[in-house]
Amino acid sequence: MRRRIAIGLALGLGGCAGRQSALDPASDQAVALHGLLGLMLAVCGIAYLLVLLFLGWALWRHRRRLDHAVELEPHDRVLQLGLGAWAGLMALGLVVLIGGSFLVDRTLARHDEAAADIRVTGHQWWWRLEYRDPAGGWIETANELHLPANRPTRIEIRSADVIHSFWIPNLSGKIDMIPGRTNHLTVTPRRLGWVRGQCAEFCGLQHARMALEVKVDTPEDFAAWLAGQARPAAAPSSPGAARGLSLIASGTCASCHRIRGAVGGGRAGPDLTHLASRRSLAAGTLPMSRGALGGWITQPQALKPGAEMPASGLAPDEALAIVSYLEGLR
């Protein structure tokens, strides 16, 4: 029996740890929010236990008189004292909660005056990411957010179409992405490695496939990664890849996608300059691989129905050439 309870608890709480969990905080802001959650649970838990305790006590005290009407003495001293103590306790609990909430809010707002380092724009159903270039201007990528550890990063949050919600549970609370409005958030990650973000506001058919891979790097690794993203696209490394590039530039791909240094292109879809350096495709829908790339460019509607990317109508040899080019975009 005890073992069964332990297994049940482990299964129930298993979802609380790991790379998409607010209960496994990995930044200053998430630690503060996690602390506030603990405080709320403690205060509300104590109030709940007290209510149950008094209910049990009242039932026990009057167990023989349950079938008679119970008359309350208006001047019952114990009752008056008890009610007074109860009201005082509730007021104290509320003061503790308000105090905790205020302190956490101050922690979250600590860098409110800083300029944004990263701009995130929600789209149906992917994330446009722009990083401030130390050399000036902005560097665009998509769907894989990199952050430096041990340093506050100010993130500007917007939407291009409907309301989305930016949420990386291990690093911060949720914040809405509202068309026509700019919100801000600061994160100071303290743990290296991958975590996962997810759009947290229902935004249409593929809301569930609007995931954000998040990598926390050392400041040095982050700077190196950013310098890599700032470079123009790699040149095609084979005749097949060169054919792929010319198919992209002359076909429908270029009306929505840009490949810096190779295809001027449109901005309706994700920037593909370093597509193959990301570890997933279509906002966390598929792992980055040759097969997934081929499937995605030929049958996007089968893999993510409703996505803005139309079926390409490419012949198999054309799709292969494009995949050869895309997988070289590291």
| DSSP-assigned letters across all residues of 77-128 | HHHHHHHHHHHHHHHHHHHHHHHHHHHHHHHHTTTTTSPPSEEEEEETTEEE
- Closest distance between ligand CUA and the C-beta of residue 22, in Å? 18
CA distance 322 to 172: 38
What's the token pair of residue 298?
């030929």
Closest CA to 54 of 76, 93, 82: 82
- Closest distance between ligand CUA and the C-beta of residue 211, in Å? 10
Considering beta carbons, is residue 122 or 244 the nearer one to ligand CUA?
122
- Closest distance between ligand CUA and the C-beta of residue 125, in Å? 6
Considering beta carbons, is residue 164 or 243 the nearer one to ligand CUA?
164
Considering beta carbons, is residue 176 or 318 the nearer one to ligand CUA?
176
Geometric angle at alpha carbon 246, from 245 and 248, rounded to 5°: 65
CA distance 330 to 326: 9
- Closest distance between ligand CUA and the C-beta of residue 292, in Å? 21
Q: Which residues bind ligand CUA (CB under 6 A)?
A: 122, 125, 164, 199, 201-203, 207, 210
| DSSP-assigned letters across all residues of 22-39 | TTS--BHHHHHHHHHHHH
Considering beta carbons, is residue 125 or 296 the nearer one to ligand CUA?
125
CA distance 24 to 60: 42
- Closest distance between ligand CUA and the C-beta of residue 165, in Å? 7
Considering beta carbons, is residue 164 or 278 the nearer one to ligand CUA?
164
Geometric angle at alpha carbon 33, from 28 and 39, rounded to 5°: 130
Considering beta carbons, is residue 116 or 177 the nearer one to ligand CUA?
177
Geometric angle at alpha carbon 142, from 137 and 146, rounded to 5°: 75
- DSSP code, position 313: -
- Closest distance between ligand CUA and the C-beta of residue 167, in Å? 10
